[in-house]
Amino acid sequence: MFAIIAAKDLRELTRDGRLLWAGVLVVVLMLTAIAVGWNRHSQVSNERSAGQALDYDAWLGQGYRHPHNAAEQGMHVFKPEPPLAIVDPGIEPFVGSTVWLQAHRQSELKFRPAQDATGLQRFGTLSPAWVLQVLIPLLVIVIGFNAMSGERERGTLRQLLSLGVPVRSLLLGKALGLASCVAIVIAPAGLVLAIIAVASLSPGERLDAVYRLTWLVAGYALYLGFFIFLTLAVSALVRSSRAALVLLLGFWVAATLIAPRSASEAANMLYPTPSRLEFDQHLAHDMGAAAGESWLANFGVRTQWDPSLPLSKWGAALKVDDEAGYGVLDKNFGSLWDTFERQQRAQQWIGLVAPVVALRGFSMGLAGTDFAQHRDFSTAAEAQRRTIQDIISKDLIEHADPLGNAHFTYKAGPELWVTVPRFNYQLPPVSFALAHHWPSLALLAVMFCLSVALARYAFSRPLMR
Amino acid sequence: MLNAIEVTKQFGANRALDKVSISVAPGDIYCLLGANGAGKTTLVNLFLNFLQPTSGTVQVGKLDVLHHPLETKRLLAYIPEQVTLYGVLSGLENLAFFSSLATGDRLSRPRLLELLEAAGLPRRAADDKVETYSKGMRQKVGIAIALAKNAKALLLDEPTSGLDPSAASEFSELLVKASNDRVAVLTTTHDLFHAKQTGTRIGIMKHGCLVEELRSEDISHADLEALYLKHMKS
């Protein structure tokens, strides 16, 4: 019975023009977003893989030179962009993708603590995810606000109920009708994405993308289902279509436009992050202190690169100096990143009143464009830097000149450079994203169930008033 | 088939129905007369379970409407004063939709056309959008829905109000046909002529009470009018 109601609603919505105009707009935006995203992704991926290869080739081909000079020049590593960044670019546009692996310190990571402290989840980038998160709920409201109030106002509800249609079938039919409209609007984008996946991804990537897309579909289905049942509940509860529209639009503005920003600000107030200047000053202070202690313990001098230290010890000194910094860098960056993750967890809970907040985290996570995966890359890049440092220091120790006068004339060659492995970062698997974002999915499921319960309550009340 | 037993309906301080009892047997056409606000539509709404009685019992068949709302509705067909349909759908599509819900079957196009024709809607209008229909044409689609449902009882709320005499006459003929098919018909109306001509029984309501009940064959047009006016003025 509910399929009959859904088919009728779909036919009615198609004919009255609302679905056509709103749908065409959304389809055009979705396809534009995919086209822009695909173009950007292709360009970025090509540039990064080319950059990565060139940079490593340059490292290998740097000829004969002092190893420390080579370490100072370092190399660059490039973060691969996950294929589903086309769907949800997440924080990718706001964080760097390239890390300079230089001697002595962890290079500046480009999420800029001071500037992006509350902005990891910025709003407003045109992407399929943004359309799904912001515009599709609006579409649901625009086509569904009078699903029940309109039937009541026109008098067709009397006709329907007089036939002995169970309210449960009515609710399911209306929900299915709205869901069908959403599916029709989303389908072209889904088709295009499927073609892109088949045409451009390797079998391994394709399988991973399918897993990720399956979870994404589940998350978005819960989110849009929430809006569908909420719209039906409000339409059944209020006396007029106009009131239903005003209420639902008010909720949409609050839940999809205001809440994400407020959530971000609230999370930052709860777990404040330092400004960039503060962070740098604190890091420099800790690095200096740790190095001082280490130099004193190992070489009996209080200042780094003290002139009293024989040149033959410089290799060992480099190693001591670097290793003293590892712990400090881990502590400072770890603390900062932990704060970002605490902020995101705090934001997740705001998903209980504004499910878009929960969805955004989940969507970015499954697309591979969230902070957790950015952190994973940064950690891998730092590990590569330390590998280079350790290899260089080891080589300098091995080639230390006992007399000291040949220290700066020593030159290493390709046989040393090639011992530095190629940076081969693999994006974390889907289980990594799920481990980080299952609470968001659970919250979405809770919100969906609540909306269904509200709709059932609304439909169980006397509908003829 | 349709039984209201000592039914009272209270809306706050206002008593819309006061211990009303009526019974409509299969084949009866029971015409309920009364001024606006007399309680006629309230009684119809009780049979449809759109309202619940404050006291008393409302039955369709032998089933209590309150306890068997869906089952009793399946025995009924309802035609309101304004048959409300989906304007952007055609008459045929409206009939297909409502009849599918009512019967659980998808009727074929020829069968749907047959039903519309039986209800008096010209075949050429079947595929036009309902928003272009006159009130009479909509009523005919409503009748076709009732015919498709093959209901045991018909509830009609001022069905001929606003219809032209020809359409009202056609409508009366359909009621008589339904009565001949042993359908119980309860209709509210202001039209004394229609009540006398079509009804087998007539009830007059005033201020929520059933003040008069008689067989139409026992009274002339003139006497019915006089009786009605007497009750309205008293």
Region A448-464: what's the mean pLDDT? 88
Please tell me the pTM assigned to this model: 0.85
The larger pLDDT score, comparing residue A120 to residue A2, is at A2
Taking any CB pair shorter than 8 Å as contact, residues of chain A touching chain B are 1, 4-5, 8, 11-12, 15-16, 154-156, 158-166, 462, 464
What's the pLDDT score for residue A123?
42
* pLDDT band for position A118 (cuts 50, 70, 90): very low
Region A222-238: what's the mean pLDDT? 96
CB contact under 8 A, A464 and B102: no
Q: Would you say residue A109 has pLDDT above 60?
A: no
What's the pLDDT score for residue A244?
95
What's the pLDDT score for residue B201?
93
Q: Would you say residue A350 has pLDDT above 50?
A: yes
Region A283-295: what's the mean pLDDT? 86
Q: Most confidently modeled of A121-135, A211-225, B181-195?
A: A211-225
Q: Among B69, B73, B86, whose Cβ lies nearest the Cβ of A156?
A: B86
pLDDT beneath 50: ranges in chain B: none
Q: Would you say residue A114 has pLDDT above 80?
A: no
What's the pLDDT score for residue A112?
40
Residues on chain A touching B98 (C-beta within 8 angstroms): 159-160, 163
Mean pLDDT (chain A) is 86
Task: Chain B: give the shortest CA distance to residue A269, in Å.
Answer: 53
Task: Chain A: give the shortest CA distance to residue B185, in Å.
Answer: 15
Region A325-340: what's the mean pLDDT? 89
CB contact under 8 A, B97 and A4: yes
What's the first-to-final CA gap in chain A, in angstroms?
Answer: 24
Q: Would you say residue A368 has pLDDT above 70?
A: yes
Q: Among B71, B84, B104, whose Cβ lies nearest the Cβ of A159?
A: B84
Region A306-335: what's the mean pLDDT? 83
Asked if B86 reaches chain A (Cβ–Cβ under 8 Å), the answer is yes
Instruction: Pick from B84, B132, B145 the residue to mutate for testing the A interface (most A CBs within 10 Å).
Output: B84
Q: Would you say residue A315 has pLDDT above 70?
A: yes
CB contact under 8 A, A163 and B102: yes
Q: Most confidently modeled of A98-112, A174-188, B215-229?
A: A174-188
What's the pLDDT score for residue A297?
84
* pLDDT band for position A463 (cuts 50, 70, 90): low
Pick from A59-68, A282-291, A401-410: least confident: A401-410
Q: Among A4, A16, A158, whose Cβ lies nearest the Cβ of B80?
A: A158
Q: Would you say residue A146 has pLDDT above 70?
A: yes
Asked if B78 reaches chain A (Cβ–Cβ under 8 Å), the answer is yes
**Nearest C-alpha in A relative to B90:** A12
Residues on chain A touching B86 (C-beta within 8 angstroms): 8, 12, 156
Q: Would you say residue A449 has pLDDT above 90?
A: yes
φ, ψ for residue A77, nearest 5 deg: -120, 145
Residues on chain A touching B78 (C-beta within 8 angstroms): 158-159, 162
Q: Would you say residue A115 has pLDDT above 70?
A: no
What's the first-to-final CA gap in chain B, in angstroms?
Answer: 32
Q: Would you say residue A397 has pLDDT above 60?
A: yes
Region A22-45: what's the mean pLDDT? 87
> What is the 3 state secondary structure string of chain A?
CHHHHHHHHHHHHHHCCHHHHHHHHHHHHHHHHHHHHHHHHHHHHHHHHHHHHHHHHHHHCCCCECHHHHHHHCEEEECCCCHHHHCCCCCHHHCCCEEEECCCCCCCCCCCHHHHCCCCCCCCCCCHHHHHHHHHHHHHHHHHCCCCHHHHHHCHHHHHHHCCCCHHHHHHHHHHHHHHHHHHHHHHHHHHHHHHHHHHCCHHHHHHHHHHHHHHHHHHHHHHHHHHHHHHHHHHHCCCHHHHHHHHHHHHHHHHHHHHHHHHHHHHHHCCCCCHHHHHHHHHHHHHHHHHHHHHHHHCCCCCCCCCCCHHHHHHHHHHHHHHHHHHHHHHHHHHHHHHHHHHHHHHHHCCCCHHHHHHHHHHHHHCCCHHHHHHHHHHHHHHHHHHHHHHHHHHHHCCCCCCCCHHHCCECHHHHCCCCCCCCCCCCHHHHHHHHHHHHHHHHHHHHHHHHHHHHHHHCCCCC
Q: Would you say residue A434 has pLDDT above 90?
A: yes
CB contact under 8 A, B80 and A16: no
CB contact under 8 A, B76 and A162: yes
* pLDDT band for position A108 (cuts 50, 70, 90): low
* pLDDT band for position A71 (cuts 50, 70, 90): confident
Region A228-233: what's the mean pLDDT? 97
**Nearest C-alpha in A relative to B93:** A8
Instruction: Pick from B46, B73, B86 the residue to mutate for testing the A interface (most A CBs within 10 Å).
Output: B86
CB contact under 8 A, B80 and A159: yes
Task: Chain A: give the shortest CA distance to residue B66, in Å.
Answer: 13
What's the pLDDT score for residue A19?
84
* pLDDT band for position A116 (cuts 50, 70, 90): very low
**Nearest C-alpha in A relative to B99:** A163
Interface confidence (ipTM) of the complex? 0.86
Q: Among B71, B72, B101, whose Cβ lies nearest the Cβ of A1?
A: B101
Task: Chain A: give the shortest CA distance to residue B218, in Å.
Answer: 34
